[in-house]
Structure 1
């Protein structure tokens, strides 16, 4: 095999090499059935086993308590932005949104077109350099729910802890940091995540929802946009994204083999420390774009002293095999996405390149 790229793409993102190799081996003939898993019926016992096993692994790895459903849906997190208020924001109630950056704003904007909303907390005054303090998040009594975005992919910020919203349901978008560390699912009534950053390829969206919240869902929502449609059928109401769920199943097994979420957290902290140390030890040559107490384990954002220097950094890094380091078009600068499957060696190579580039250009 030719040398693999140092893949820091923000999503679709790196997948574990072991998973790709197993998928390659099984691509034409899945478990000796003479067909690819992409060719078999989603009603077959072979696919149902993959689907059931993946749901069980989600529950095991996240420690999902009793009274919750694990769903595999389609449409990405962006569809969830609409599905959530359509199902859980009735007339006469308001939903609070914690604004932490671009993705939280997208969810808030979608909900505003469906029902009454309010800003539960915001980091806008500081340019979204930090996550609002948990104590500053307002959960108004009687609210339909409070929504937060656990990790802002574009800004590079992440919640270190989550609020206790009492009797108000808490909903979380975990698209870019799901399973990067342990999380107390019982704090949330619903959490969701597009798979294409930490769980697998694009095409499937993980939703974990409490039975209590499910019981409050509106009945006047189109069938495919109702959570109970999918909970009653084990996510097999219509043809699911079979191959995406299959790859997710393999990724979940890979995470389990790496020590579960405790093992993943230590691994992520070790490898991202290399890059943050390169930023902090650069004497200002690299400037982090997020306050230290809000830094993400998944998306590291930083700037250089000039646009010309940043262009040179990108050009030279690409020649060295680095992919995906250019920041999002809305904010520019640099971003290294260090999701679960990004190897330690890739982060070490990037830190070494950053140090060498600084020595030549500082």
Structure 2
């Protein structure tokens, strides 16, 4: 029986990357060191770092005026680092409320800035991202922050807002590299690695070069985007193994058709699962409106919530793990990141159909 991990993160890695990592990361080389032991100041690691950066730039067709940073920590670190680095002379920042993680980012930013709620989703079923018109954007806003894919709520923006000259900042943790992306629409994008990039403990930051001149004087040196960009993400010891693995994942994406191919596969996987939910005559329910449904994180519930644990037990017996919904909202959630093969979704939908026959 093949097992499939549907966790929202740390998430499944591509099988080919795991096989490559076994050969390359923990075996000692001629220098007596393995990748985990080599100094970040040495030539071997700098080659790895440059490769990862170049590979990511190629995948994203990155404009020349953007910089890629590989930073220690998770996306929640960026909830503070974004205002500290981007406020500049302004005291105002705009945040769109689209669900759980956008609100977490907003609360943290309010420690440093006067936060305007630029747009807000209604919170009623069917759930949807904030409407893309009539956003409140004070003219002196240093930036406008969005969470284009809400990992907890299963909500995805159907399109990007037009913020005019105000830089658009995105927490793209659960959607970066899942489909082509016009980076030039953004001032800054950040994404924790443990969804589609690699392992927990690293966040990728992609920032437009002109925004590197804004950091507040009190920003600690390792948290300064400008200084990290100047020193190639090596102000302090970077997450070396995470960078090695990220480079391997970037290679895997490129070898499998790039972001266009990832997008096609991810849409197909999500369509299979949503079709199974919608065809169940209400046995399963997806609370997010069509057109706003995430292809990365499929949130659904059983009409009889009392059957949720029985479903999870049945799924685990088939090797389908980590389908619990977020602790704040319950229900079920299947994360379909790049490394989840279509066969995993087919196995899940078969389990769902059998469960309906038993309990429907």
TM-score between both structures, scaled by the size of structure 2: 0.97
Q: Which residue of 1 aligns with 2:323?
A: 325
> What stretches of structure 2 of length at least 5 have no aligned partner?
none
Asked whether the 8 Å contact 1:100–1:123 carries over to 2, the reply is: yes
Equivalent of 1:355 in 349, 353, 356:
353
**1:282–1:112 CA distance, 2 compared to 1 (3 A):** same
Within 1, Cα distance between the matches of 2:44 and 2:136? 47
Within 1, Cα distance between the matches of 2:282 and 2:233? 50
Q: Mean Cα displacement is larger for which, 269-278 or 3-12?
A: 3-12
Equivalent of 2:121 in 109, 123, 131:
123
Equivalent of 1:269 in 267, 270, 289:
267
Asked whether the 8 Å contact 2:173–2:193 carries over to 1, the reply is: yes
> What stretches of structure 1 of length at least 5 have no aligned partner?
none
Equivalent of 1:300 in 285, 298, 301:
298
The answer to whether 1:28 aligns with 2:26 is yes
Within 2, Cα distance between the matches of 1:246 and 1:30? 15
**1:282–1:337 CA distance, 2 compared to 1 (3 A):** same
Q: Which residue of 1 aligns with 2:279?
A: 281
Within 2, Cα distance between the matches of 1:171 and 1:183? 14
Aligned residues: 360
Equivalent of 1:48 in 46, 49, 66:
46
The answer to whether 1:99 aligns with 2:112 is no
Within 1, Cα distance between the matches of 2:90 and 2:64? 30
The offset of 1:30, in angstroms, is: 6.1
Q: What do residues 265-310 of structure 1 show as CA deviations (whole Å, max 9, x unaligned)?
A: 0011111111111001111111002111110010001110222211
Q: How does 1:246-265 map to 2 (within 5 A)?
A: 246-265=244-263
The offset of 1:90, in angstroms, is: 4.4
Q: What do residues 22-76 of structure 1 show as CA deviations (whole Å, max 9, x unaligned)?
A: 1111233366554210011111111101101101111111111011110001121
The offset of 1:124, in angstroms, is: 3.8
TM-score between both structures, scaled by the size of structure 1: 0.96
2:141 aligned counterpart, secondary structure: coil
Asked whether the 8 Å contact 2:98–2:147 carries over to 1, the reply is: yes
The offset of 1:336, in angstroms, is: 0.3
Q: Which residue of 2 aligns with 1:166?
A: 164
The offset of 1:89, in angstroms, is: 2.1
Q: Mean Cα displacement is larger for which, 56-65 or 220-229?
A: 220-229
Asked whether the 8 Å contact 1:89–1:144 carries over to 2, the reply is: yes
Asked whether the 8 Å contact 1:99–1:122 carries over to 2, the reply is: yes
Within 2, Cα distance between the matches of 1:92 and 1:274? 46
1:303 aligned counterpart, secondary structure: strand
Q: How does 1:49-68 map to 2 (within 5 A)?
A: 49-68=47-66
The offset of 1:125, in angstroms, is: 4.1
Q: Which residue of 2 aligns with 1:79?
A: 77
Within 1, Cα distance between the matches of 2:109 and 2:355? 44
Alignment RMSD, CA only? 1.5
Asked whether the 8 Å contact 2:126–2:289 carries over to 1, the reply is: no
**1:268–1:33 CA distance, 2 compared to 1 (3 A):** farther
Within 2, Cα distance between the matches of 1:132 and 1:102? 13
1:145 aligned counterpart, secondary structure: strand
The offset of 1:160, in angstroms, is: 2.2
1:135 aligned counterpart, secondary structure: coil
